Each structure stands twice: as C-alpha cells, then as structure tokens.
Amino acid sequence: MNDTQPPLSNEQAWAEAPQWGTTPAMSQLEALMWRSERHPRLSSTAVMVELLDTVPDWDRLRAAHEWASRLVPRFRQRVVEPALPVTPPVWAADPDFDLDYHLRRVVLPTPGDIDALLTLAQTLAVTPFDRSRPPWEATLVEGFDGDRAAYLLKVHHSLTDGMGGIQLLSHLHSRIREPSPHKPDPDALAPERPNRLGLAAHGLLEQVRSAPAGARRLLDFTTVALRQPGRVAAEALRLAGSLPWMLDGPPASPSPLLRPRSGKAWRFGTLECSLDELKAAGRAGGGTVNDAFIAALLGGLRRYHERFGVGVDELPMAMPVSLRRPGDAMGGNRFTGALLAAPAGVADPADRIAAIHRAVLTARAEPAFELLGLAAPLLTRVPSAVGALAFGGVGASADLSASNVRGIPHPVYLAGARIDRMFVFGPLPGVAVMAGLVSHVGTCCIGINCDGAVFADTNLLMTCLREGLDEVLALAKPHAGNTRRRRGSTPPQEMQRG
C-alpha cells in the first residue's frame, strides 16, 4: 500500500475484498510449505498480535467474523490433497465449517501485561493446526493492560505472505469506530467434497496437455541458440557463475553462539519506533528503511555476542523479498529468498547501513536470485520427509531472518476498538532469530521470535536488540531536526525468560 494514497472507504474495501485469495490451487511454493511442515521445528505458522484501545463487543466481533468469512471465501476453505502428490493441493469449502472453533475468547491472568500476552501468543503459535479445517484461528484477549484488549490472529503461511495479509486486513478492518451500515450480505460458499483421485488424475492430465507447450518453448530456445550462439552462451556462463551463490551453502560462517537449535521453544518480544525516524536513519547511512532495520538487528546481535566475549564479523542472514507487481492478484504468496553475509561486525551504524545496502543490492542482482523457487515443483512431489529436509536446510543455514512489510498508514478499527499496534511473529524455519517489521499509522512495530534453546536469557537478547535500535535511531537526530521521541503507549518490552 502506498502511504501517500488516501485510504479506501469501507464501501471500496468491501467491493475489493472478495478478490483476495481466489486461486483454487496452491502455488508450488505454498504446496512445499504445507507438505514439508514438521511442527513446530519446521512450522509455517505466523501470529499477528493487535493491541486494542478498548475491549470490543463480543457479539459484534463474532458477527464481523461471520460476515468476513462469507465476504472472503478463503476463510471458509480447507486444504484438500490429491491422492498422489503429482499436483499441488486445492482449496475447497469446508462442509463442516464451525466459526466457534476458529474464533475464541480468553482472559489474561493477572497482571495482564505485555509479557503475559506474548506468552499466550507463543503458546498458541506452537500449537499445530487441525489440518482438516481452514488453517486460521482468532482469539480475543481480555484483561490486557487494565481495560484494554488484544486480538491474536494465527494463520498458516500457505494462506498468504506478509504483504497479502496486510492487503486482507486493510480491506476488512473498518475505517470508523461505529457500526457500518449497508454492508454487503454475500452467501456462504456451498460445501465442497473434491474427489482426491480425481484431483490426481486431473493433475496428470494437465501435465500431459502442457507437454507440447514445453516442447515448443524448447524448440524456440534452440532456434535462438542457433541464430545467436554468442548471446546464449554468455547468458549461460553468467548463470553458471551465479549458481554457486545459491548452492554453496551459508554465505558466512554461522555463529557458534547461536547453536544448537531446537526450533521447538518459541520466545516472543516486541520493539517499536517512529517510522519517520527509521527512514531518516536509513537515509543518513545512504540506505533505506529496511537497511536501517537490519542494521539495528545486527547491532543488537553484535552486542549480544560481546556480552559473551565472542567476536563476530559476519552472520549468515535470510531475507524474504517480495515479487509482487502492480496488478497482481491479492493474497497468496509471492516472494523469494535471498541469503547474504550480513555485516554484524561493522561498529559504526551509518557504515553498517551502507554495507547492508550494498549486500542486498548484490544479492538481488544475482542471476540465480529468482531461481530459488525452481526446486519447489520437484520437492512437492517427493516424500514429505525429503521435502522437509530440503526446506529446513535453507533456514538452518542462516542465523537471522528479517522481513519488512508496509502496513496500514491510517487508523482502523475492529468491532469498535481502535487498533493501536500491529505486531507479526513469523515462524522459525531453522533460524535462531526471526524478526518482522510492520509499519502501522507511523509506528514501526517489530516482532521478534527467537529459539529458546539458543537464548537461555531472552531478556538479555531483547536488551541488546533495543540498544541496537537506539543506536541506529540516533543517526536520525541531525537529519530530522526536532525529533520526536519514540512513539507508543506500549514501550519496548523484554521477553520472558526461556
């Protein structure tokens, strides 16, 4: 979403919402995430935590979910596998859809603070989905911070990536606190019971049908190669030179301090800052807001290593990169991954931002960059244990993974409650730390998920990360003039001990 564009009205959002997630079959990448899951070590579950200014009316909240599940068909669809994994799974309307299973209500125990909320969220995150139902669950949490509340939304990554999730929420969250009249009243999907043998047969038939087109593409390539052998040879050499970047393993030596990992003990924490300040810090270092975000994380991890007397120069890092283009259908997953040697040892934050900017540009310029998804069609057809081994190996080669998603720039409401903060906690696909930044109404909401088997003292990790963020934000002061203090009624919090 472009921050300079005016927000959609409720009516415009409702008209566009049914277009979200309408593809009937999973993509190859989505099928790989679904079939390779080994919970929780190779979980593909993400949890969003929204902090609300008041407790929404339960009946109104339930009615909103009932309405949304009819407006956006994907909410009522489950995953159906073909009898043989020759084609990706499909989405089909759940004949036994039960809203009361997917929407829950709990009260936080005293003192009802952010630590208690994050403990609840991380417990929900590592609880596997019932894979026979639509893969999402929502929980209203009362008793948070006195008379406030929180809303937890747990989704499987095969439903959508981060940008697709923001698209969905920007179309479903209301622009006003009051009830919205004249909502559309769509019918619920008719129940579907696809024939699993039929799906497999259809997949095989489609592959047979597509064979002539593949042969034609090969013939066209051969024709070009005969007419322009020098050009084709040059491209082949360029790609061959790039393949080691993708196949040689970690781009930097993994830190011995960030191992061994279990992937089973998820620990959540939050940080926040002004979006304007983080942008200014990025510009001060000759980079972007994303470069400044990564620089803050690396500065924190360097400090963490120093507390244990361990020097660190570079850390292997994984970074999901969106492949969405204007005009792409909403929802789904459109991203690839980049592995880079992250310059954690660069002490000066401005120099670190510049080094990160160069590293990211270099990774994105590799010809093999967009080939990272080519293995997905093969891996979705092999036994799931083999796919899980390959899928998990990618994450295990990195110490840190970080993503940055542009969020909703204007105030939005959930059943009458204003959403003050929006944190997203991604899964731990073998990495030691997963960090996700979502901007929300001018605030950068940073969700940290780390492996409790690695960080025995997660309070220490969060202290170091907060120091790394403060160090980067200090770059904004000469450039932002009269800089505001970091926003937020909820200050940066430390995680509970692992």
Catalytic residues: 157
For residue 231, the one-letter residue type is: R
Closest by Cα among 118, 93, 100 to 421 = 118
Cα separation, 368 vs 362, in Å, equals: 12
Closest by Cα among 437, 447, 449, 448 to 407 = 437
User: Could you give phi then psi for residue 167, rounded to 5 degrees?
Assistant: -55, -45
User: Which tokens hold the place of 340?
Assistant: 């880079």
**Residue with the two structure tokens 């034609």:** 216
DSSP 3-state of 456: coil
Q: Residue 112: CB partners within 8 Å, gap ≥ 6?
A: 143, 144, 145, 146
**Residue with the two structure tokens 């998603």:** 405
User: What H or E segment, with its residue span, contains residue 483?
Assistant: none
Torsion angle in degrees (nearest 10) through CA of 51, 57, 58, 62: -90
Cα separation, 275 vs 283, in Å, equals: 12
Contact 164, 335 (CB under 8 A): no
User: Could you give phi then psi for residue 381, rounded to 5 degrees?
Assistant: -105, -15
Residue 179, sorted as left (phi over 0), alpha (psi -120 to 50) or beta, turns out to be beta
User: Which tokens hold the place of 296?
Assistant: 């803050």
For residue 204, the one-letter residue type is: L
Closest by Cα among 490, 487, 403, 417 to 447 = 403
Cα separation, 149 vs 239, in Å, equals: 52
User: Which tokens hold the place of 196?
Assistant: 């699993």
Contact 258, 304 (CB under 8 A): no
Cα separation, 196 vs 161, in Å, equals: 27
